[in-house]
Amino acid sequence: MIRFVLSRVLQSLVALAILSVVVFVLARATGDPLHLILPMSASEEDYAYARRYLGLDRPYVEQYFSFVGKAVMGDFGTSLRARRPVSELIRERLPNSLRLALFAMCVSLSFAFPLGVLAAVKKGTWIDRTAQVIAVLGQSLPTFWVAIVLVEFVAGRLQWLPAGGIAGFASHILPGFTVGWVVLAGMMRLLRSGMLEVLDSEYVKLARVKGVVERRVVWLHALKNALIPVVTFAGIYFAILVTTAIVVETVFAWPGLGRLAYEGISSRDFPVIQAVVLTTAVIVAVVNLGVDLLYAVIDPRIRHAR
């Protein structure tokens, strides 16, 4: 198990190194950030001065190694636009994204599990059909549309909930629902199909024949074996929610990492773009490792094979 963890960590480090080169090159391929930072009437001399001041006049190789050397120490440089340390911006924004993602996952799991299991157990009934409609809607309605409709009607017209920003528990509901809705739909479908497969298996039939109560058969014996794909899905989506909920964070004015990424890209703020991409990669790597370890907990066969 330790060897497995170490090899995964090493793989992640190699991936991060390659990613750092890719993001460095791609960020600079998008164009000169000074066109956005300086006013339209800025002269050539203004551009030259700004380039020297921001270190953008150095050779690319020098800029890259300077960036990497500082990044391993947690220093991602200074934001070209905000003129503040990027690590400070990330420290401010990441907890907000984590909060939103955790809230969304809690909401999704709370509804996906009972609905997914019930849809499988009550296959063909109105419960199953309702669950399928929810799944289809969740996976087909665009997130930006759901977000704007909720803001316009639930917050603006009905005034039931806050429209934007972070201010108490109530402000989590609309953005959390918007991002969690997609996750709920996907998890519910996976759980339903997983449960249907497992409920038809021999060991479940044996448990029933042995007289085990149906509730235990479903929630203890069958559910555990239907969880693997759901855990994978939840892990992948958690990382996505934390790092790339750009649309939702923009619509709800939620000061998270996704919005920081959008602001960085819009203003060609290289240090911010590089830092957000690397932070995202680290989060994805950590979450994937956590999911792999969770497999071993859920399924002893995987634990012993490793």
Under the binding rule (CB under 8 A), the answer on residue 29 touching another protein is: no
Which listed range, 40-48, 79-87, 120-128, 186-194, lies at the site for another protein (CB under 8 A)?
40-48
Site for another protein (CB under 8 A): which residue of 12, 16, 19, 42? Answer: 42
Under the binding rule (CB under 8 A), the answer on residue 118 touching another protein is: no
Site for another protein (CB under 8 A): which residue of 1, 3, 43, 61? Answer: 43
Under the binding rule (CB under 8 A), the answer on residue 179 touching another protein is: no
Interface of this chain with another protein, residues 249 to 288, rule: CB under 8 A:
250-253, 259, 268
How far apart are the C-alpha atoms of 193 and 288, rounded to whole Å?
23
How far apart are the C-alpha atoms of 143 and 237, rounded to whole Å?
14
How far apart are the C-alpha atoms of 171 and 243, rounded to whole Å?
19
Q: How far is the CB of 21 from another protein (least distance, A)?
A: 24
Contacts of 306 (CB under 8 A, 6+ apart): 1, 4, 296
Residue with tokens 């991002």: 179
Under the binding rule (CB under 8 A), the answer on residue 165 touching another protein is: yes
Which listed range, 62-70, 74-82, 207-215, 248-256, lies at the site for another protein (CB under 8 A)?
248-256
Tokens representing residue 142 in the block: 């665009």
Q: How far is the CB of 275 from another protein (least distance, A)?
A: 20
Under the binding rule (CB under 8 A), the answer on residue 157 touching another protein is: yes
Distance of CA 277 to the CA centre of its chain: 12
Under the binding rule (CB under 8 A), the answer on residue 151 touching another protein is: yes
Site for another protein (CB under 8 A): which residue of 156, 201, 203, 286? Answer: 156
Task: Count residues near another protein (CB under 8 A).
Answer: 26
Given a contact cutoff of 8 angstroms between Cβ atoms, the answer to whether 271 and 86 are in contact is yes
Q: Among residues 30 and 110, whose Cβ is nearest to another protein?
A: 30
Site for another protein (CB under 8 A): which residue of 57, 152, 197, 214? Answer: 152
How far apart are the C-alpha atoms of 190 and 53, rounded to whole Å?
53
How far apart are the C-alpha atoms of 7 and 263, rounded to whole Å?
35
Q: How far is the CB of 250 from another protein (least distance, A)?
A: 5
Site for another protein (CB under 8 A): which residue of 5, 18, 22, 31? Answer: 31
One-letter amino acid for residue 102 of the chain = L
SS3 for 169-236, per residue? CHHHHHHHHHHHHHHHHHHHHHHHHHHHHHHCCHHHHHHHHCCCCHHHHHHHHHHHHHHHHHHHHHHH
Under the binding rule (CB under 8 A), the answer on residue 83 touching another protein is: no
Site for another protein (CB under 8 A): which residue of 98, 148, 166, 293? Answer: 148
Residue with tokens 């977000």: 147
Residues that bind another protein (CB under 8 A): 31-32, 35-36, 40-44, 148, 151-152, 155-157, 159, 162-165, 250-253, 259, 268
